[in-house]
Amino acid sequence: MSRTRDLIERRELAVAKGVATRGIYAARAENAELWDVDGKRYLDLAAGIAVNNTGHRHPKLMAAVAAQAEAFTHTCFHVAPYEGYVRLAERLNAATPGDFAKKTMLVTTGAEAVENAVKMARAFTGRSGVIAFSGAFHGRTLMGMALCGKVQPYKRAFGAMPPEVYHATFPNAYHGVTPEMSLAQLDQLFRSTIDPERVAAIIIEPVQGEGGFNIAPPEFLRGLRAVCDTHGIVLIADEVQAGMARTGKLFAMEHAGVAADLVTMAKGLAGGFPLSAVTGQAEIVDAAPMGGIGGTYAGNPLAVAAANAVLDVIADENLCTRAEQVGDVLRHRLTAMAARQGMEVIGDVRGVGAMVAFELVTDRATRAPDAALTQAIVAEAEALGLIILPCGTHGNVVRLLPPLTIPIAQVDEALDILEAALEAAIGKAARAA
Protein backbone atom coordinates (compact mmCIF):
# COMPACT_ATOMS: atom_id res chain seq x y z
CA MET A 1 0.00 0.00 0.00
CA SER A 2 1.27 3.49 -0.86
CA ARG A 3 1.73 6.00 1.91
CA THR A 4 -0.95 8.15 0.26
CA ARG A 5 -3.50 5.31 0.32
CA ASP A 6 -2.66 4.60 3.95
CA LEU A 7 -3.19 8.26 4.87
CA ILE A 8 -6.48 8.41 2.98
CA GLU A 9 -7.77 5.46 4.99
CA ARG A 10 -6.52 6.97 8.26
CA ARG A 11 -8.06 10.31 7.38
CA GLU A 12 -11.46 8.69 6.71
CA LEU A 13 -11.42 7.14 10.19
CA ALA A 14 -10.01 10.08 12.13
CA VAL A 15 -10.99 13.39 10.49
CA ALA A 16 -14.42 15.01 10.26
CA LYS A 17 -16.12 14.13 6.98
CA GLY A 18 -17.17 17.76 6.43
CA VAL A 19 -13.52 18.80 6.12
CA ALA A 20 -13.14 18.34 2.38
CA THR A 21 -9.71 17.22 1.16
CA ARG A 22 -7.93 16.23 -2.01
CA GLY A 23 -5.92 13.05 -2.51
CA ILE A 24 -2.52 14.73 -2.32
CA TYR A 25 -0.68 14.31 1.00
CA ALA A 26 2.18 16.77 1.14
CA ALA A 27 5.67 15.85 2.27
CA ARG A 28 7.59 18.97 1.24
CA ALA A 29 7.28 22.02 -0.99
CA GLU A 30 9.48 24.70 -2.49
CA ASN A 31 8.25 27.80 -4.33
CA ALA A 32 5.74 26.44 -6.91
CA GLU A 33 6.59 22.75 -6.51
CA LEU A 34 5.15 20.22 -4.07
CA TRP A 35 6.08 16.59 -3.46
CA ASP A 36 3.68 14.10 -1.89
CA VAL A 37 4.48 11.38 0.66
CA ASP A 38 5.18 8.92 -2.17
CA GLY A 39 7.66 11.27 -3.85
CA LYS A 40 5.43 12.42 -6.70
CA ARG A 41 6.10 15.97 -7.87
CA TYR A 42 3.30 18.47 -8.51
CA LEU A 43 3.23 21.97 -9.89
CA ASP A 44 1.09 23.99 -7.51
CA LEU A 45 -1.36 26.35 -9.20
CA ALA A 46 -3.48 26.58 -6.06
CA ALA A 47 -0.87 28.07 -3.70
CA GLY A 48 -2.87 26.94 -0.68
CA ILE A 49 -5.86 28.89 -2.13
CA ALA A 50 -3.95 32.11 -2.84
CA VAL A 51 -1.97 31.91 0.40
CA ASN A 52 1.54 31.25 -0.88
CA ASN A 53 1.74 34.27 -3.18
CA THR A 54 5.43 34.44 -2.30
CA GLY A 55 5.83 30.71 -2.94
CA HIS A 56 6.31 27.84 -0.53
CA ARG A 57 9.00 28.53 2.07
CA HIS A 58 10.35 31.80 0.73
CA PRO A 59 13.82 32.21 2.32
CA LYS A 60 13.06 35.68 3.69
CA LEU A 61 9.87 34.46 5.36
CA MET A 62 11.58 31.44 6.83
CA ALA A 63 14.41 33.58 8.21
CA ALA A 64 12.00 36.10 9.73
CA VAL A 65 9.94 33.39 11.43
CA ALA A 66 13.05 31.60 12.71
CA ALA A 67 14.36 34.83 14.21
CA GLN A 68 11.03 35.53 15.90
CA ALA A 69 10.89 31.97 17.27
CA GLU A 70 14.23 32.59 18.94
CA ALA A 71 12.70 35.53 20.81
CA PHE A 72 9.16 34.35 21.71
CA THR A 73 6.27 32.57 20.01
CA HIS A 74 3.27 33.83 22.00
CA THR A 75 2.49 36.37 24.66
CA CYS A 76 -1.05 37.40 23.57
CA PHE A 77 -1.06 40.96 22.29
CA HIS A 78 -3.66 41.86 24.93
CA VAL A 79 -1.24 40.81 27.68
CA ALA A 80 2.22 41.78 26.44
CA PRO A 81 2.16 43.60 23.08
CA TYR A 82 5.11 43.62 20.70
CA GLU A 83 6.68 45.88 18.11
CA GLY A 84 6.10 43.61 15.11
CA TYR A 85 2.31 43.95 15.41
CA VAL A 86 2.55 47.73 15.65
CA ARG A 87 4.94 47.90 12.69
CA LEU A 88 2.69 45.73 10.53
CA ALA A 89 -0.33 47.87 11.42
CA GLU A 90 1.59 50.99 10.42
CA ARG A 91 2.54 49.42 7.09
CA LEU A 92 -1.00 48.25 6.28
CA ASN A 93 -2.38 51.67 7.23
CA ALA A 94 -0.01 53.22 4.70
CA ALA A 95 -0.56 50.59 1.99
CA THR A 96 -4.36 50.33 1.77
CA PRO A 97 -6.20 52.72 -0.57
CA GLY A 98 -7.65 55.91 0.88
CA ASP A 99 -6.32 59.31 1.85
CA PHE A 100 -7.57 59.33 5.43
CA ALA A 101 -6.34 58.36 8.87
CA LYS A 102 -6.38 54.57 9.31
CA LYS A 103 -5.98 51.96 12.00
CA THR A 104 -5.58 48.17 11.89
CA MET A 105 -6.47 45.16 13.99
CA LEU A 106 -4.95 41.72 13.45
CA VAL A 107 -6.74 38.40 13.87
CA THR A 108 -6.17 34.89 12.57
CA THR A 109 -8.54 33.93 9.73
CA GLY A 110 -10.33 35.64 6.88
CA ALA A 111 -13.69 34.88 8.46
CA GLU A 112 -12.55 36.57 11.69
CA ALA A 113 -11.52 39.65 9.74
CA VAL A 114 -14.94 39.80 8.08
CA GLU A 115 -16.78 39.30 11.39
CA ASN A 116 -14.81 42.10 13.01
CA ALA A 117 -15.33 44.46 10.07
CA VAL A 118 -19.08 43.94 10.40
CA LYS A 119 -18.87 44.57 14.16
CA MET A 120 -16.96 47.80 13.56
CA ALA A 121 -19.47 48.97 10.95
CA ARG A 122 -22.42 48.24 13.24
CA ALA A 123 -20.76 49.96 16.19
CA PHE A 124 -19.90 53.02 14.10
CA THR A 125 -23.29 53.46 12.40
CA GLY A 126 -25.60 52.19 15.12
CA ARG A 127 -27.32 50.14 12.42
CA SER A 128 -27.54 46.38 11.94
CA GLY A 129 -28.29 45.56 8.28
CA VAL A 130 -25.56 44.19 6.02
CA ILE A 131 -25.67 43.68 2.26
CA ALA A 132 -23.51 41.15 0.42
CA PHE A 133 -23.70 39.78 -3.12
CA SER A 134 -24.70 36.71 -5.06
CA GLY A 135 -21.75 34.35 -5.44
CA ALA A 136 -19.94 35.85 -2.47
CA PHE A 137 -17.77 33.90 -0.07
CA HIS A 138 -16.88 35.47 3.27
CA GLY A 139 -16.12 32.47 5.49
CA ARG A 140 -17.70 29.56 7.35
CA THR A 141 -18.58 31.20 10.68
CA LEU A 142 -22.23 32.04 11.28
CA MET A 143 -21.93 35.61 10.01
CA GLY A 144 -19.61 34.46 7.24
CA MET A 145 -22.16 31.86 6.12
CA ALA A 146 -24.96 34.41 6.21
CA LEU A 147 -22.94 36.72 3.98
CA CYS A 148 -22.10 33.95 1.50
CA GLY A 149 -24.00 34.03 -1.75
CA LYS A 150 -23.58 30.31 -2.38
CA VAL A 151 -25.64 27.68 -0.55
CA GLN A 152 -23.83 24.44 -1.42
CA PRO A 153 -21.77 23.53 0.53
CA TYR A 154 -21.45 26.55 2.79
CA LYS A 155 -25.02 27.00 4.13
CA ARG A 156 -26.64 23.64 3.56
CA ALA A 157 -27.73 21.77 6.73
CA PHE A 158 -26.66 24.53 9.12
CA GLY A 159 -30.05 25.97 9.98
CA ALA A 160 -31.10 29.57 10.40
CA MET A 161 -28.64 32.28 9.45
CA PRO A 162 -28.09 35.49 11.44
CA PRO A 163 -30.78 38.07 10.62
CA GLU A 164 -30.60 41.31 8.67
CA VAL A 165 -28.22 40.05 6.00
CA TYR A 166 -29.38 40.69 2.43
CA HIS A 167 -28.01 39.87 -1.01
CA ALA A 168 -27.86 41.90 -4.18
CA THR A 169 -26.82 40.65 -7.61
CA PHE A 170 -23.13 40.72 -8.51
CA PRO A 171 -22.38 41.89 -12.08
CA ASN A 172 -21.46 39.12 -14.49
CA ALA A 173 -20.60 40.15 -18.03
CA TYR A 174 -20.48 36.59 -19.36
CA HIS A 175 -24.02 35.92 -18.18
CA GLY A 176 -25.43 39.31 -19.15
CA VAL A 177 -25.63 41.04 -15.78
CA THR A 178 -24.41 44.60 -16.29
CA PRO A 179 -23.22 47.02 -13.59
CA GLU A 180 -26.31 49.11 -14.26
CA MET A 181 -28.57 46.11 -13.67
CA SER A 182 -26.83 45.29 -10.40
CA LEU A 183 -27.06 48.86 -9.12
CA ALA A 184 -30.73 49.01 -10.11
CA GLN A 185 -31.37 45.76 -8.22
CA LEU A 186 -29.63 47.21 -5.16
CA ASP A 187 -31.87 50.28 -5.39
CA GLN A 188 -34.89 47.96 -5.59
CA LEU A 189 -33.66 46.17 -2.46
CA PHE A 190 -33.67 49.52 -0.67
CA ARG A 191 -37.21 50.20 -1.87
CA SER A 192 -38.75 46.81 -1.16
CA THR A 193 -36.79 45.05 1.58
CA ILE A 194 -34.58 47.23 3.79
CA ASP A 195 -34.40 50.96 4.36
CA PRO A 196 -30.86 52.11 3.49
CA GLU A 197 -30.88 54.03 6.76
CA ARG A 198 -30.84 50.63 8.51
CA VAL A 199 -27.85 49.34 6.55
CA ALA A 200 -24.54 49.38 8.42
CA ALA A 201 -22.34 47.96 5.66
CA ILE A 202 -22.08 46.72 2.12
CA ILE A 203 -19.37 44.07 1.72
CA ILE A 204 -17.94 43.05 -1.64
CA GLU A 205 -15.07 41.06 -3.10
CA PRO A 206 -13.50 43.18 -5.87
CA VAL A 207 -12.79 39.85 -7.58
CA GLN A 208 -14.95 36.99 -6.34
CA GLY A 209 -13.00 33.93 -5.25
CA GLU A 210 -15.24 30.94 -4.59
CA GLY A 211 -17.95 32.58 -6.70
CA GLY A 212 -15.96 32.04 -9.91
CA PHE A 213 -13.34 34.79 -10.28
CA ASN A 214 -15.99 37.26 -11.37
CA ILE A 215 -14.48 40.74 -11.60
CA ALA A 216 -16.42 43.71 -10.26
CA PRO A 217 -16.30 46.35 -13.02
CA PRO A 218 -14.71 49.66 -11.95
CA GLU A 219 -17.92 51.58 -12.69
CA PHE A 220 -19.84 49.23 -10.40
CA LEU A 221 -17.40 49.74 -7.52
CA ARG A 222 -17.57 53.49 -8.08
CA GLY A 223 -21.36 53.24 -8.03
CA LEU A 224 -21.27 51.34 -4.73
CA ARG A 225 -18.97 53.99 -3.29
CA ALA A 226 -21.50 56.67 -4.26
CA VAL A 227 -24.40 54.70 -2.76
CA CYS A 228 -22.53 54.25 0.50
CA ASP A 229 -21.61 57.94 0.64
CA THR A 230 -25.22 58.96 0.01
CA HIS A 231 -26.66 56.78 2.78
CA GLY A 232 -23.85 56.77 5.34
CA ILE A 233 -23.11 53.08 4.76
CA VAL A 234 -19.69 51.56 5.47
CA LEU A 235 -18.14 50.00 2.35
CA ILE A 236 -16.10 46.88 3.16
CA ALA A 237 -13.71 45.42 0.57
CA ASP A 238 -13.06 41.73 1.18
CA GLU A 239 -9.54 41.36 -0.22
CA VAL A 240 -8.90 38.01 1.46
CA GLN A 241 -8.28 36.13 -1.79
CA ALA A 242 -7.62 38.98 -4.25
CA GLY A 243 -5.23 40.99 -2.11
CA MET A 244 -1.46 41.02 -1.51
CA ALA A 245 -0.32 41.58 -5.12
CA ARG A 246 -2.39 38.73 -6.56
CA THR A 247 -4.16 40.90 -9.15
CA GLY A 248 -1.18 43.04 -10.13
CA LYS A 249 -1.95 45.63 -7.45
CA LEU A 250 -1.39 45.21 -3.75
CA PHE A 251 -5.19 45.40 -3.37
CA ALA A 252 -7.70 44.66 -6.13
CA MET A 253 -9.78 47.77 -5.34
CA GLU A 254 -6.88 49.85 -6.67
CA HIS A 255 -7.78 48.82 -10.22
CA ALA A 256 -11.01 50.82 -9.87
CA GLY A 257 -9.48 53.78 -8.05
CA VAL A 258 -11.94 53.24 -5.21
CA ALA A 259 -11.12 53.34 -1.51
CA ALA A 260 -13.24 51.21 0.80
CA ASP A 261 -13.87 52.31 4.38
CA LEU A 262 -12.64 48.96 5.69
CA VAL A 263 -10.43 46.35 4.02
CA THR A 264 -10.25 42.72 5.15
CA MET A 265 -7.23 40.64 4.23
CA ALA A 266 -5.75 37.23 5.07
CA LYS A 267 -4.43 34.37 2.86
CA GLY A 268 -1.41 35.92 1.10
CA LEU A 269 -0.81 38.36 3.96
CA ALA A 270 1.51 36.04 5.88
CA GLY A 271 2.60 33.59 3.19
CA GLY A 272 1.36 30.40 4.85
CA PHE A 273 1.12 31.49 8.48
CA PRO A 274 -2.37 32.13 9.91
CA LEU A 275 -2.98 35.87 10.03
CA SER A 276 -5.68 38.27 8.94
CA ALA A 277 -6.33 41.97 9.29
CA VAL A 278 -8.94 44.69 9.17
CA THR A 279 -7.61 48.07 8.09
CA GLY A 280 -9.70 51.15 7.60
CA GLN A 281 -10.89 54.56 8.59
CA ALA A 282 -9.62 55.21 12.11
CA GLU A 283 -12.96 56.46 13.43
CA ILE A 284 -14.74 53.31 12.18
CA VAL A 285 -12.11 50.91 13.48
CA ASP A 286 -12.14 52.72 16.83
CA ALA A 287 -15.93 52.53 17.18
CA ALA A 288 -15.71 49.10 18.82
CA PRO A 289 -15.56 49.34 22.63
CA MET A 290 -12.34 48.54 24.47
CA GLY A 291 -11.98 44.75 24.65
CA GLY A 292 -14.75 44.18 22.10
CA ILE A 293 -12.40 43.02 19.36
CA GLY A 294 -9.27 40.86 19.36
CA GLY A 295 -8.53 37.33 20.51
CA THR A 296 -6.03 35.13 22.30
CA TYR A 297 -4.10 34.22 19.16
CA ALA A 298 -4.89 37.39 17.22
CA GLY A 299 -1.72 38.73 15.63
CA ASN A 300 0.46 35.74 16.49
CA PRO A 301 4.13 36.88 16.63
CA LEU A 302 5.37 34.25 14.16
CA ALA A 303 2.66 35.12 11.63
CA VAL A 304 3.28 38.84 12.11
CA ALA A 305 6.99 38.34 11.41
CA ALA A 306 6.06 36.43 8.25
CA ALA A 307 3.68 39.19 7.13
CA ASN A 308 6.30 41.90 7.54
CA ALA A 309 8.61 39.72 5.43
CA VAL A 310 5.88 39.23 2.81
CA LEU A 311 5.52 42.99 2.38
CA ASP A 312 9.29 43.23 1.97
CA VAL A 313 9.32 40.47 -0.67
CA ILE A 314 6.41 42.01 -2.61
CA ALA A 315 8.31 45.30 -2.80
CA ASP A 316 11.83 43.92 -3.30
CA GLU A 317 10.85 41.40 -5.98
CA ASN A 318 8.23 43.65 -7.62
CA LEU A 319 5.57 40.98 -7.34
CA CYS A 320 2.76 43.22 -8.57
CA THR A 321 4.47 43.45 -11.95
CA ARG A 322 5.32 39.76 -11.73
CA ALA A 323 1.63 38.94 -11.20
CA GLU A 324 0.78 40.75 -14.44
CA GLN A 325 3.50 38.85 -16.33
CA VAL A 326 2.36 35.45 -15.03
CA GLY A 327 -1.28 36.32 -15.68
CA ASP A 328 -0.56 37.40 -19.26
CA VAL A 329 1.02 34.00 -19.98
CA LEU A 330 -1.94 32.16 -18.44
CA ARG A 331 -4.62 34.15 -20.25
CA HIS A 332 -2.85 34.06 -23.61
CA ARG A 333 -2.47 30.29 -23.52
CA LEU A 334 -6.00 29.66 -22.22
CA THR A 335 -7.47 31.92 -24.90
CA ALA A 336 -5.53 29.97 -27.53
CA MET A 337 -6.85 26.69 -26.09
CA ALA A 338 -10.41 28.01 -26.17
CA ALA A 339 -10.02 28.90 -29.86
CA ARG A 340 -9.03 25.35 -30.82
CA GLN A 341 -11.49 22.98 -32.43
CA GLY A 342 -12.86 20.60 -29.82
CA MET A 343 -12.30 23.07 -26.98
CA GLU A 344 -15.73 24.71 -27.28
CA VAL A 345 -16.38 23.61 -23.71
CA ILE A 346 -14.32 26.61 -22.59
CA GLY A 347 -16.97 29.30 -22.51
CA ASP A 348 -15.03 32.13 -20.96
CA VAL A 349 -11.48 33.01 -19.94
CA ARG A 350 -11.17 35.79 -17.38
CA GLY A 351 -8.97 37.19 -14.69
CA VAL A 352 -6.80 40.03 -13.53
CA GLY A 353 -3.13 39.69 -12.72
CA ALA A 354 -2.32 36.13 -11.67
CA MET A 355 -5.91 35.46 -10.60
CA VAL A 356 -7.15 33.64 -13.70
CA ALA A 357 -10.01 31.25 -14.44
CA PHE A 358 -11.91 29.59 -17.24
CA GLU A 359 -15.58 28.63 -17.23
CA LEU A 360 -16.75 25.29 -18.64
CA VAL A 361 -20.08 24.95 -20.41
CA THR A 362 -22.03 22.23 -22.18
CA ASP A 363 -22.25 24.53 -25.21
CA ARG A 364 -21.42 28.14 -25.90
CA ALA A 365 -24.88 29.06 -27.13
CA THR A 366 -26.74 28.34 -23.90
CA ARG A 367 -23.70 28.82 -21.62
CA ALA A 368 -25.10 26.04 -19.45
CA PRO A 369 -22.60 25.04 -16.74
CA ASP A 370 -20.70 21.76 -16.94
CA ALA A 371 -19.70 20.91 -13.37
CA ALA A 372 -19.02 17.25 -14.17
CA LEU A 373 -16.42 18.13 -16.79
CA THR A 374 -14.85 20.62 -14.41
CA GLN A 375 -14.33 17.95 -11.77
CA ALA A 376 -12.97 15.58 -14.40
CA ILE A 377 -10.40 18.14 -15.56
CA VAL A 378 -9.26 18.80 -11.98
CA ALA A 379 -8.87 15.03 -11.43
CA GLU A 380 -6.98 14.50 -14.70
CA ALA A 381 -4.65 17.37 -13.87
CA GLU A 382 -3.94 15.93 -10.44
CA ALA A 383 -3.12 12.55 -11.97
CA LEU A 384 -0.66 14.29 -14.31
CA GLY A 385 1.04 16.25 -11.54
CA LEU A 386 -0.79 19.59 -11.52
CA ILE A 387 -2.78 21.09 -8.63
CA ILE A 388 -5.72 23.26 -9.71
CA LEU A 389 -9.02 24.11 -8.05
CA PRO A 390 -12.68 24.36 -9.07
CA CYS A 391 -14.95 27.20 -8.02
CA GLY A 392 -18.12 29.04 -9.12
CA THR A 393 -21.70 28.96 -7.87
CA HIS A 394 -22.35 26.10 -10.32
CA GLY A 395 -18.99 24.40 -9.74
CA ASN A 396 -18.02 24.86 -13.39
CA VAL A 397 -15.03 27.18 -13.17
CA VAL A 398 -11.35 26.19 -12.93
CA ARG A 399 -9.20 28.75 -11.12
CA LEU A 400 -5.46 29.18 -11.44
CA LEU A 401 -3.57 30.75 -8.52
CA PRO A 402 0.15 30.15 -9.01
CA PRO A 403 2.69 31.62 -6.62
CA LEU A 404 3.76 34.98 -8.01
CA THR A 405 7.36 33.77 -7.73
CA ILE A 406 6.83 30.80 -10.09
CA PRO A 407 9.41 30.56 -12.90
CA ILE A 408 7.83 31.20 -16.31
CA ALA A 409 9.21 27.84 -17.51
CA GLN A 410 7.08 26.17 -14.84
CA VAL A 411 4.03 28.21 -15.91
CA ASP A 412 4.51 26.82 -19.41
CA GLU A 413 4.97 23.30 -18.04
CA ALA A 414 1.80 23.62 -15.96
CA LEU A 415 -0.16 24.81 -18.98
CA ASP A 416 1.09 21.85 -21.02
CA ILE A 417 -0.23 19.54 -18.30
CA LEU A 418 -3.50 21.47 -18.13
CA GLU A 419 -4.00 21.17 -21.88
CA ALA A 420 -3.38 17.41 -21.69
CA ALA A 421 -5.87 17.16 -18.80
CA LEU A 422 -8.48 19.07 -20.79
CA GLU A 423 -8.02 16.80 -23.82
CA ALA A 424 -8.22 13.68 -21.67
CA ALA A 425 -11.35 14.79 -19.82
CA ILE A 426 -13.10 15.97 -22.98
CA GLY A 427 -12.23 12.71 -24.75
CA LYS A 428 -13.58 10.57 -21.91
CA ALA A 429 -16.79 12.62 -21.77
CA ALA A 430 -17.28 12.22 -25.53
CA ARG A 431 -16.78 8.46 -25.37
CA ALA A 432 -19.24 8.17 -22.48
CA ALA A 433 -21.92 10.19 -24.27
| CATH number, residue 214 | 3.40.640.10
CA angle 169, 172, 174 (to 5 degrees): 150
> Do 154 and 294 lie in a common domain?
yes
Q: Which of 144-153, 162-171, 216-225, 398-407 comes out lowest in average pLDDT? A: 144-153
What is the longest distance spanned by two Cα atoms in the chain?
64
> Do 213 and 339 lie in a common domain?
no
Q: Measured between alpha carbons, how far is 119 from 103 in angstroms, rounded to an integer?
A: 15
- Average pLDDT value for residue range 82-110: 98
Q: What phi and psi, each to the nearest 5 degrees, are found at residue 142? A: -60, -50
Long-range pairs of 220-223 with CB within 8 A, sequence gap ≥ 24: 220/171, 220/179, 220/182, 220/183, 221/253, 221/256, 221/258, 222/256, 222/257, 222/258, 223/179, 223/183
> Do 258 and 194 lie in a common domain?
yes
Q: List pLDDT tens digits, range 243-264.
A: 999 999 999 999 999 999 999 9
Indicate the pLDDT class of residue 403, thresholds 50, 70 and 90: very high
Instruction: Look at residues 124, 163, 126, 158 and name the one whose alpha carbon lies nearest to residue 147.
Output: 163
- Average pLDDT value for residue range 328-342: 96
In this predicted structure, what is the pLDDT of residue 433? 78
- Average pLDDT value for residue range 55-66: 98
Cα–Cα distances in angstroms (integers) from residue 62 to residues 29, 65, 69, in the given order = 13, 5, 10
> Do 14 and 26 lie in a common domain?
yes
Indicate the pLDDT class of residue 422, thresholds 50, 70 and 90: very high
- Average pLDDT value for residue range 280-308: 97
Q: Which domain holds residue 121?
A: 72-317
pTM: 0.97
Indicate the pLDDT class of residue 150, thresholds 50, 70 and 90: confident
Q: Last residue of some domain: 285, 317, 349? A: 317
Q: Last residue of some domain: 286, 317, 348? A: 317
Indicate the pLDDT class of residue 160, thresholds 50, 70 and 90: confident
In this predicted structure, what is the pLDDT of residue 430? 87
> Do 116 and 155 lie in a common domain?
yes
Query: Helix, strand, coil: what percent of the chain each, to 5?
Result: 45, 20, 40
The total domain count for the chain is 2
Indicate the pLDDT class of residue 214, thresholds 50, 70 and 90: very high
